[in-house]
Structure 1
Amino acid sequence: MATRISNLFSGKKVKTTSNNLLPIYLRVTISGKRFGRSINRYIALGK
């Protein structure tokens, strides 16, 4: 049986810091089971 793995990186606009930085979250899906976690990195909010 083949195992399928998917990674998704996204910024959470709801959690914007006071410096207008978005935290980056990682969602991993392995064979239909998923979990998400903050990777403790930030990206500047574009205009």
Structure 2
Amino acid sequence: MNNILFSILAKLNKLILPSFTKRRLDLSKASKLQLLIFGWKLYVTKRALK
């Protein structure tokens, strides 16, 4: 059940949130909001793959 939820969230993240890796964002120069979005996407993706 949890895996399905996080898989759906991961797909929504891909559609809605920006991709910082395609933009070649330097994480040392990223704003707090960009770091928060990056961390959220990483967390959801990691949980979806479990």
The normalised TM-score by structure 2 is 0.20
- Give the number of the structure with larger relative contact order, counting CA–CA contacts within 8 Å between residues 6 or more apart: 2
Structure with the larger helix share: 2
- The structure having more radius of gyration, on CA atoms, is 1
Structure with the larger strand share: 1
The normalised TM-score by structure 1 is 0.20
